[in-house]
């Protein structure tokens, strides 16, 4: 388990009010939620912020420039105008070792922790004193009441401590360390509940297109059955804008976010080719899923991340894959505080999926 001085756990749910903080390759996303209707389990979006990160501050999912990341977190927190200083953070899947094991049911917590640690040592390629580890019993679909399935999550301490230090330098306190795919899954479950048709026995693919990585997470009956990352993202579009129009990297990134300022040939010569390439990457990811699992169908693709709001991208991917494609909005069933501009939130929502899932960790779903 995590050392007490860090006061972190991967799976702990009952916490003080907190802010979900997603540190990605290009920006820091922050979301604060509250409960609008406890009986109906309806959330309210109180505040959120998206704060750009200095280029190179993050490398391969890890923090390379602690000061730059901390400053971005602090700017976002101040812009939100909140008093809450507790935060939930997440590690990318590549930085976390996860393993499901079967153990005898009904054990005392101390005995279970001892057995889990012994089991985990078989799968973790580091000394146990070099990792932070946590575990959670999973809901069993088996009829065998004498056994229980346990999910173990472990990460190198330096990876955890870098994120904790970035929050601390910004004047905030990390109380939860989650895993990015689990955080996005928590937010995606909100979307599933409000689909027009039952999601029972349906296969959904959630594709998060970040700055440098495209992450695929496939769900069946609410359970993740497949994950895959591919090295492709919005940075490719930024670089194409930079090369095509002779701009600096910072100018290209700013122009991408306000494409109306780019020359008329931007859509034809840059954006459309990028969308076609992206759709091919999505098709590759889908094919890998089919060839690696027993599944032969995906009912719907859901797009998240900054690229998800590119006009017409849904249609291009749907045409390429022959699968219905939608853009996610985890806030569609939530109430909005008077501080939130609804139109802007709709644009930003696909980028806030992980931050939203992290913010939800402040509430006990039971």
Residue 16, in any domain of the structure: yes
Sheet holding 42-52, edge to edge: 173-179, 86-91, 19-23, 27-37, 42-52, 335-336
The structure tokens listed for 97 are 């070792």
DSSP annotation of 136 reads E
How far is Cα 206 from Cα 208, in angstroms, rounded to an integer?
A: 6
Which CATH number belongs to the domain containing residue 42 in this structure?
3.30.420.40
Q: What is the pLDDT of residues 279-295, one digit of tens each?
A: 999 999 999 999 999 99
β-pair partners for 147: 104
Residue 125, in any domain of the structure: no
How far is Cα 229 from Cα 250, in angstroms, rounded to an integer?
A: 26
For all residues of the chain together, what is the average pLDDT?
88
Structural domain count of the chain: 2
Residue 339, in any domain of the structure: yes
Centre a 10 Å sphere on the Cβ of residue 319 and count the other Cβ atoms it contains: 11
State the pLDDT confidence band at 4, using cuts at 50, 70 and 90.
Answer: very low
The structure tokens listed for 216 are 């695929």
Residues 297 and 339 in one domain: no
Of the ranges 189-203, 209-223, 242-256, the best mean pLDDT one: 209-223
How far is Cα 70 from Cα 53, in angstroms, rounded to an integer?
A: 10
Residues 37 and 162 in one domain: yes
Residues 170 and 34 in one domain: yes
Residues 359 and 227 in one domain: no
Sheet holding 131-137, edge to edge: 96-104, 147-156, 131-137
Centre a 10 Å sphere on the Cβ of residue 149 and count the other Cβ atoms it contains: 16
Q: Which residue has the higher pLDDT, 349 or 191?
A: 349
Centre a 10 Å sphere on the Cβ of residue 144 and count the other Cβ atoms it contains: 9
Q: What is the pLDDT of residues 314-331, one digit of tens each?
A: 999 999 999 999 999 999
How far is Cα 223 from Cα 279, in angstroms, rounded to an integer?
A: 25
Token pair 């173990």: residue: 152
Residue 89, in any domain of the structure: yes
Which pairing describes strands 223-230 and 214-220: parallel, antiparallel, or unpaired? antiparallel
Q: What is the pLDDT of residues 71-108, one digit of tens each?
A: 999 999 999 999 999 999 999 998 998 888 888 888 88
Give the structural domain span for 249. Answer: 195-328
């Amino acid at each position: 388990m995590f050392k007490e001085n860090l006061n972190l756990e991967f799976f702990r749910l009952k916490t003080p009010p907190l802010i979900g903080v997603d540190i990605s390759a290009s920006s820091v996303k922050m979301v604060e939620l509250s409960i609008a209707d406890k009986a109906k389990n309806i959330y309210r979006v109180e505040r959120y912020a998206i704060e750009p990160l200095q280029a190179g501050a993050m490398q391969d999912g890890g923090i390379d420039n602690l000061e730059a990341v901390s400053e971005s977190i602090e700017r976002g927190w101040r812009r939100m105008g909140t008093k809450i200083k507790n935060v939930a953070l997440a590690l990318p899947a590549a930085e976390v070792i996860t393993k499901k094991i079967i153990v005898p049911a009904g054990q005392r917590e101390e005995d279970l922790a001892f057995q889990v640690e012994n089991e985990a040592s078989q799968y973790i390629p580091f000394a146990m004193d070099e990792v932070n580890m946590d575990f959670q019993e999973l809901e069993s679909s088996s009829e065998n009441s004498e056994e229980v399935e346990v999910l173990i999550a472990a990460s190198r301490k330096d990876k955890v401590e870098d994120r904790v230090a970035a929050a601390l330098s910004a004047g905030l306190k990390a109380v939860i360390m989650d895993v990015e795919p689990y955080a996005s899954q928590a937010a995606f479950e909100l979307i599933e509940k409000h689909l027009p048709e039952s999601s029972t026995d349906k296969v959904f693919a959630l594709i998060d297109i970040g700055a440098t990585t495209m992450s695929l997470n496939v769900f069946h009956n609410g359970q993740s059955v497949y994950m895959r990352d591919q090295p492709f993202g919005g940075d490719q579009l930024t670089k194409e804008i930079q090369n095509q129009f002779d701009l600096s990297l910072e100018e290209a990134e700013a122009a991408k976010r306000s494409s109306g300022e780019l020359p008329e040939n931007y859509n034809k010569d840059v954006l459309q080719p990028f969308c076609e390439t992206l759709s091919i990457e999505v098709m590759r990811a889908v094919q890998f899923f089919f060839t690696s699992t027993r599944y032969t169908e995906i009912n719907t693709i859901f797009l998240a991340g900054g690229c998800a709001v590119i006009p017409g991208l849904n249609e291009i991917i749907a045409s390429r894959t022959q699968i219905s494609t939608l853009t996610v909005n985890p806030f569609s069933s939530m109430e909005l505080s008077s501080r939130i501009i609804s139109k802007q939130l709709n644009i930003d929502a696909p980028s806030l999926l992980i931050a939203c899932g992290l913010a939800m960790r402040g509430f006990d779903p039971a």
